[in-house]
Chains A and B, each alone.
Chain A
Amino acid sequence: MFDLTGKNALITGASGGIGGDIARALYDAGASVGLSGTRVEPLQALADSLGERAYVLPCNLSDSESVEALPKKAAEAMGSVDILVNNAGITRDNLFMRMSDEEWQSVIDVNMTATMKLCKGVIRGMMKARWGRIVNISSVVAAIGNPGQANYAASKAGMIGFSKALAHEVATRGITVNAVAPGFITTAMTEKLTEEQKKGLLLKVPAGRMGDPQEIAAAVLYLASPEAGYVTGSTLHVNGGMAML
Protein backbone atom coordinates (compact mmCIF):
# COMPACT_ATOMS: atom_id res chain seq x y z
CA MET A 1 0.00 0.00 0.00
CA PHE A 2 2.76 2.47 0.92
CA ASP A 3 5.50 3.04 -1.63
CA LEU A 4 8.89 4.30 -0.47
CA THR A 5 10.77 3.54 -3.66
CA GLY A 6 13.74 5.88 -4.03
CA LYS A 7 13.65 6.99 -0.39
CA ASN A 8 16.56 6.44 1.96
CA ALA A 9 15.88 5.63 5.59
CA LEU A 10 18.20 5.63 8.58
CA ILE A 11 17.07 3.47 11.48
CA THR A 12 18.84 3.44 14.83
CA GLY A 13 18.64 0.45 17.11
CA ALA A 14 18.19 -1.76 14.07
CA SER A 15 19.81 -4.70 15.84
CA GLY A 16 16.87 -4.84 18.24
CA GLY A 17 13.52 -6.55 17.72
CA ILE A 18 11.46 -3.46 16.93
CA GLY A 19 14.23 -1.73 14.95
CA GLY A 20 14.79 -4.81 12.84
CA ASP A 21 11.12 -5.04 11.92
CA ILE A 22 10.95 -1.32 11.18
CA ALA A 23 13.90 -1.71 8.80
CA ARG A 24 12.25 -4.67 7.13
CA ALA A 25 8.93 -2.84 6.70
CA LEU A 26 10.60 0.19 5.13
CA TYR A 27 12.78 -2.02 2.95
CA ASP A 28 9.83 -4.06 1.77
CA ALA A 29 8.09 -0.81 0.83
CA GLY A 30 11.02 -0.05 -1.48
CA ALA A 31 13.27 2.17 0.63
CA SER A 32 17.00 1.80 1.01
CA VAL A 33 17.82 1.35 4.69
CA GLY A 34 20.81 2.36 6.78
CA LEU A 35 20.96 -0.01 9.74
CA SER A 36 22.53 1.50 12.79
CA GLY A 37 23.30 -0.11 16.12
CA THR A 38 26.16 -0.94 18.42
CA ARG A 39 26.47 -4.64 17.55
CA VAL A 40 27.72 -5.24 14.02
CA GLU A 41 26.90 -8.93 13.81
CA PRO A 42 23.10 -8.74 14.07
CA LEU A 43 23.13 -5.69 11.79
CA GLN A 44 25.08 -7.59 9.17
CA ALA A 45 22.77 -10.58 9.50
CA LEU A 46 19.77 -8.32 9.00
CA ALA A 47 21.39 -6.59 6.03
CA ASP A 48 22.14 -9.98 4.46
CA SER A 49 18.56 -11.14 4.93
CA LEU A 50 17.20 -7.94 3.37
CA GLY A 51 19.29 -7.43 0.25
CA GLU A 52 21.34 -4.94 -1.64
CA ARG A 53 19.52 -1.80 -0.52
CA ALA A 54 20.59 -2.37 3.10
CA TYR A 55 23.67 -0.72 4.60
CA VAL A 56 25.34 -1.49 7.91
CA LEU A 57 26.24 1.70 9.81
CA PRO A 58 27.53 0.84 13.29
CA CYS A 59 27.25 3.64 15.83
CA ASN A 60 27.48 3.95 19.58
CA LEU A 61 24.83 6.50 20.51
CA SER A 62 26.39 7.21 23.89
CA ASP A 63 29.47 8.54 22.08
CA SER A 64 28.63 12.02 20.83
CA GLU A 65 31.27 12.05 18.08
CA SER A 66 29.98 8.79 16.75
CA VAL A 67 26.43 10.21 16.79
CA GLU A 68 27.45 13.31 14.88
CA ALA A 69 29.22 11.24 12.25
CA LEU A 70 26.26 8.92 11.62
CA PRO A 71 24.07 11.14 9.40
CA LYS A 72 27.07 11.85 7.18
CA LYS A 73 27.97 8.18 6.94
CA ALA A 74 24.36 7.39 6.07
CA ALA A 75 24.18 10.09 3.40
CA GLU A 76 27.47 8.88 1.91
CA ALA A 77 26.23 5.30 1.78
CA MET A 78 22.75 5.96 0.44
CA GLY A 79 22.97 9.42 -1.17
CA SER A 80 20.64 11.13 1.32
CA VAL A 81 18.57 10.57 4.42
CA ASP A 82 14.90 11.14 3.64
CA ILE A 83 13.50 9.19 6.57
CA LEU A 84 15.00 9.07 10.06
CA VAL A 85 13.70 6.63 12.63
CA ASN A 86 15.07 7.25 16.10
CA ASN A 87 14.36 3.86 17.55
CA ALA A 88 17.43 3.12 19.68
CA GLY A 89 16.84 3.31 23.39
CA ILE A 90 18.26 2.05 26.63
CA THR A 91 16.91 1.50 30.11
CA ARG A 92 18.72 1.86 33.42
CA ASP A 93 15.86 1.09 35.78
CA ASN A 94 16.02 1.92 39.44
CA LEU A 95 13.79 3.33 42.09
CA PHE A 96 14.03 7.07 41.90
CA MET A 97 15.39 7.35 45.43
CA ARG A 98 18.25 5.08 44.46
CA MET A 99 18.78 6.37 40.95
CA SER A 100 22.29 7.68 40.38
CA ASP A 101 23.09 10.72 38.29
CA GLU A 102 24.90 8.38 35.93
CA GLU A 103 21.79 6.20 35.48
CA TRP A 104 19.79 9.32 34.77
CA GLN A 105 22.29 10.88 32.39
CA SER A 106 23.09 7.80 30.32
CA VAL A 107 19.40 7.28 29.50
CA ILE A 108 18.86 10.96 28.69
CA ASP A 109 22.00 10.97 26.51
CA VAL A 110 21.08 7.98 24.36
CA ASN A 111 17.31 8.34 24.19
CA MET A 112 16.95 12.08 23.97
CA THR A 113 20.21 13.85 23.15
CA ALA A 114 21.21 11.41 20.42
CA THR A 115 17.74 11.81 18.90
CA MET A 116 18.21 15.57 18.83
CA LYS A 117 21.69 15.31 17.30
CA LEU A 118 20.60 12.92 14.59
CA CYS A 119 17.68 15.17 13.71
CA LYS A 120 20.09 18.07 13.45
CA GLY A 121 22.31 16.03 11.17
CA VAL A 122 19.57 15.15 8.70
CA ILE A 123 17.32 18.22 8.76
CA ARG A 124 19.42 20.30 6.39
CA GLY A 125 19.15 17.76 3.60
CA MET A 126 15.43 17.38 4.22
CA MET A 127 14.92 21.16 4.11
CA LYS A 128 16.63 21.33 0.76
CA ALA A 129 14.71 18.36 -0.58
CA ARG A 130 11.45 19.87 0.70
CA TRP A 131 10.59 16.40 1.94
CA GLY A 132 11.42 14.47 5.06
CA ARG A 133 10.03 12.10 7.62
CA ILE A 134 11.24 11.85 11.18
CA VAL A 135 9.70 9.19 13.39
CA ASN A 136 10.77 9.07 17.02
CA ILE A 137 10.03 5.91 18.93
CA SER A 138 8.76 6.95 22.34
CA SER A 139 6.92 4.73 24.81
CA VAL A 140 3.60 4.38 26.59
CA VAL A 141 5.46 5.20 29.81
CA ALA A 142 6.03 8.73 28.47
CA ALA A 143 2.31 9.24 28.94
CA ILE A 144 1.50 7.16 32.00
CA GLY A 145 4.79 6.71 33.85
CA ASN A 146 6.18 3.52 35.31
CA PRO A 147 7.80 2.86 38.68
CA GLY A 148 11.54 2.41 38.41
CA GLN A 149 11.71 4.29 35.13
CA ALA A 150 11.86 7.97 36.05
CA ASN A 151 14.82 8.40 33.71
CA TYR A 152 13.32 6.39 30.86
CA ALA A 153 9.88 8.01 31.17
CA ALA A 154 11.45 11.48 31.22
CA SER A 155 13.54 10.73 28.14
CA LYS A 156 10.60 9.29 26.21
CA ALA A 157 8.29 12.16 27.16
CA GLY A 158 11.10 14.52 26.18
CA MET A 159 11.18 12.95 22.73
CA ILE A 160 7.49 13.75 22.28
CA GLY A 161 7.84 17.40 23.27
CA PHE A 162 10.90 17.68 21.09
CA SER A 163 9.06 16.15 18.13
CA LYS A 164 6.22 18.64 18.46
CA ALA A 165 8.51 21.67 18.63
CA LEU A 166 10.51 20.51 15.62
CA ALA A 167 7.31 19.64 13.76
CA HIS A 168 6.22 23.26 14.12
CA GLU A 169 9.47 24.60 12.75
CA VAL A 170 9.77 22.50 9.64
CA ALA A 171 6.14 21.85 8.66
CA THR A 172 6.22 24.37 5.80
CA ARG A 173 9.10 22.48 4.23
CA GLY A 174 7.31 19.21 3.68
CA ILE A 175 8.96 17.59 6.68
CA THR A 176 6.88 15.79 9.27
CA VAL A 177 8.01 14.84 12.74
CA ASN A 178 5.97 12.32 14.67
CA ALA A 179 6.31 9.87 17.51
CA VAL A 180 5.19 6.30 17.92
CA ALA A 181 4.55 5.17 21.48
CA PRO A 182 4.63 1.39 21.84
CA GLY A 183 3.04 -0.38 24.78
CA PHE A 184 4.25 -3.82 25.85
CA ILE A 185 5.90 -5.39 22.85
CA THR A 186 7.57 -8.80 22.63
CA THR A 187 11.27 -7.91 22.49
CA ALA A 188 14.52 -8.68 24.28
CA MET A 189 13.73 -5.75 26.58
CA THR A 190 10.46 -7.29 27.76
CA GLU A 191 11.83 -10.87 27.66
CA LYS A 192 13.59 -10.06 30.91
CA LEU A 193 10.24 -9.91 32.70
CA THR A 194 9.12 -12.95 34.70
CA GLU A 195 5.95 -14.82 33.73
CA GLU A 196 4.28 -13.39 36.79
CA GLN A 197 5.27 -9.83 35.87
CA LYS A 198 3.95 -10.37 32.36
CA LYS A 199 0.65 -11.69 33.67
CA GLY A 200 0.30 -8.65 35.90
CA LEU A 201 1.07 -6.31 33.02
CA LEU A 202 -1.39 -7.96 30.69
CA LEU A 203 -4.20 -7.26 33.14
CA LYS A 204 -3.76 -3.63 32.17
CA VAL A 205 -3.92 -4.33 28.44
CA PRO A 206 -7.47 -4.57 27.07
CA ALA A 207 -6.21 -6.52 24.07
CA GLY A 208 -4.99 -9.17 26.52
CA ARG A 209 -1.72 -9.83 24.75
CA MET A 210 1.70 -8.34 24.16
CA GLY A 211 2.21 -6.45 20.92
CA ASP A 212 4.27 -7.71 18.03
CA PRO A 213 7.24 -5.64 16.76
CA GLN A 214 5.65 -5.74 13.31
CA GLU A 215 2.71 -3.79 14.70
CA ILE A 216 5.11 -0.98 15.62
CA ALA A 217 6.81 -1.23 12.25
CA ALA A 218 3.46 -0.80 10.50
CA ALA A 219 2.84 2.44 12.41
CA VAL A 220 6.29 3.73 11.44
CA LEU A 221 5.76 2.74 7.82
CA TYR A 222 2.54 4.76 7.73
CA LEU A 223 4.14 7.86 9.26
CA ALA A 224 7.10 7.55 6.86
CA SER A 225 4.86 7.29 3.82
CA PRO A 226 3.89 10.08 1.42
CA GLU A 227 0.27 9.41 2.43
CA ALA A 228 0.97 10.68 5.97
CA GLY A 229 2.13 14.07 4.73
CA TYR A 230 -0.57 15.92 6.67
CA VAL A 231 0.20 14.14 9.95
CA THR A 232 2.81 15.96 12.01
CA GLY A 233 3.55 16.55 15.66
CA SER A 234 1.38 13.61 16.57
CA THR A 235 1.98 10.58 18.72
CA LEU A 236 0.62 7.30 17.46
CA HIS A 237 -0.07 5.04 20.43
CA VAL A 238 0.26 1.35 19.67
CA ASN A 239 -0.49 -0.33 22.96
CA GLY A 240 -3.47 -2.68 22.77
CA GLY A 241 -5.62 -0.12 24.54
CA MET A 242 -3.40 0.03 27.62
CA ALA A 243 -3.57 3.83 27.50
CA MET A 244 -6.28 5.36 25.35
CA LEU A 245 -4.92 8.77 24.46
Chain B
Amino acid sequence: MSDVADRVKKIVVEHLGVEEDKVAENASFIDDLGADSLDTVELVMAFEEEFGIEIPDDAAETIQTFGDAVKFISEAS
Protein backbone atom coordinates (compact mmCIF):
# COMPACT_ATOMS: atom_id res chain seq x y z
CA MET B 1 0.00 0.00 0.00
CA SER B 2 1.24 3.46 -0.87
CA ASP B 3 2.46 5.91 1.70
CA VAL B 4 -0.49 8.21 0.98
CA ALA B 5 -2.96 5.41 1.60
CA ASP B 6 -1.30 4.57 4.91
CA ARG B 7 -1.45 8.13 6.11
CA VAL B 8 -5.05 8.58 4.98
CA LYS B 9 -6.02 5.33 6.67
CA LYS B 10 -4.39 6.42 9.91
CA ILE B 11 -6.40 9.65 9.91
CA VAL B 12 -9.64 7.82 9.18
CA VAL B 13 -9.03 5.23 11.88
CA GLU B 14 -8.18 7.88 14.44
CA HIS B 15 -10.97 10.25 13.57
CA LEU B 16 -13.83 7.80 13.13
CA GLY B 17 -12.64 5.26 15.68
CA VAL B 18 -13.01 2.29 13.32
CA GLU B 19 -10.97 -0.89 12.92
CA GLU B 20 -8.18 -0.61 10.39
CA ASP B 21 -9.39 -3.57 8.32
CA LYS B 22 -12.80 -1.90 7.88
CA VAL B 23 -11.14 0.89 5.89
CA ALA B 24 -11.26 -0.79 2.49
CA GLU B 25 -10.74 0.79 -0.91
CA ASN B 26 -14.47 1.22 -1.53
CA ALA B 27 -15.54 1.85 2.07
CA SER B 28 -17.89 4.82 2.21
CA PHE B 29 -17.16 7.18 5.10
CA ILE B 30 -20.84 7.73 5.78
CA ASP B 31 -22.46 4.39 4.82
CA ASP B 32 -19.75 1.99 5.97
CA LEU B 33 -17.63 3.80 8.51
CA GLY B 34 -20.33 5.59 10.49
CA ALA B 35 -19.28 9.16 9.73
CA ASP B 36 -21.83 11.97 9.90
CA SER B 37 -21.72 14.93 7.54
CA LEU B 38 -19.66 16.98 9.98
CA ASP B 39 -17.15 14.12 10.29
CA THR B 40 -16.58 14.24 6.53
CA VAL B 41 -15.86 17.96 6.74
CA GLU B 42 -13.39 17.31 9.52
CA LEU B 43 -11.72 14.46 7.62
CA VAL B 44 -11.16 16.79 4.69
CA MET B 45 -9.69 19.37 7.09
CA ALA B 46 -7.37 16.72 8.50
CA PHE B 47 -6.29 15.60 5.01
CA GLU B 48 -5.53 19.19 4.05
CA GLU B 49 -3.34 19.56 7.06
CA GLU B 50 -1.54 16.23 6.80
CA PHE B 51 -0.70 16.68 3.14
CA GLY B 52 -0.39 20.46 2.98
CA ILE B 53 -2.95 20.77 0.21
CA GLU B 54 -6.15 22.71 -0.37
CA ILE B 55 -9.23 20.64 -1.09
CA PRO B 56 -11.91 22.94 -2.54
CA ASP B 57 -15.51 22.39 -1.44
CA ASP B 58 -16.67 21.01 -4.79
CA ALA B 59 -13.84 18.49 -4.77
CA ALA B 60 -14.50 17.60 -1.14
CA GLU B 61 -18.03 16.60 -2.07
CA THR B 62 -16.72 13.97 -4.47
CA ILE B 63 -14.61 12.31 -1.78
CA GLN B 64 -17.06 9.69 -0.52
CA THR B 65 -14.87 6.66 0.03
CA PHE B 66 -11.42 5.85 1.34
CA GLY B 67 -10.36 5.13 -2.25
CA ASP B 68 -11.68 8.52 -3.41
CA ALA B 69 -9.60 10.26 -0.77
CA VAL B 70 -6.40 8.39 -1.61
CA LYS B 71 -6.89 9.03 -5.33
CA PHE B 72 -7.59 12.75 -4.89
CA ILE B 73 -4.70 13.32 -2.52
CA SER B 74 -2.24 11.31 -4.64
CA GLU B 75 -3.10 13.46 -7.62
CA ALA B 76 -3.06 16.73 -5.69
CA SER B 77 0.16 16.32 -3.73
Contact = CB atoms under 8 A, between A and B. Distances in A.
The answer to whether A and B come from one shared complex is yes
A117 to B, nearest CB: 16
Size category of the A interface is under 10
Interface of A: 124, 127-128, 169-170, 172-173
Contacts of A127: 38, 41-42, 45
10 contacts: A124-B45, A127-B38, A127-B41, A127-B42, A127-B45, A128-B45, A169-B38, A170-B38, A172-B38, A173-B38
A173 B45 CA distance: 14
A128 B38 CA distance: 12
Given A127-B38, A172-B38, A173-B38, 7 more contacts: A124-B45, A127-B41, A127-B42, A127-B45, A128-B45, A169-B38, A170-B38
Interface of B: 38, 41-42, 45
A223 B42 CA distance: 25
Can you list the 8 inter-chain pairs with the closest CB atoms, starting with the nearest? A127-B42, A124-B45, A169-B38, A172-B38, A173-B38, A128-B45, A127-B45, A170-B38
A170 B37 CA distance: 11
A173 B36 CA distance: 12
A119 to B, nearest CB: 14
A110 to B, nearest CB: 26
Contacts of B42: 127
Contacts of B38: 127, 169-170, 172-173
Nearest to B46: A128
A173 B41 CA distance: 12
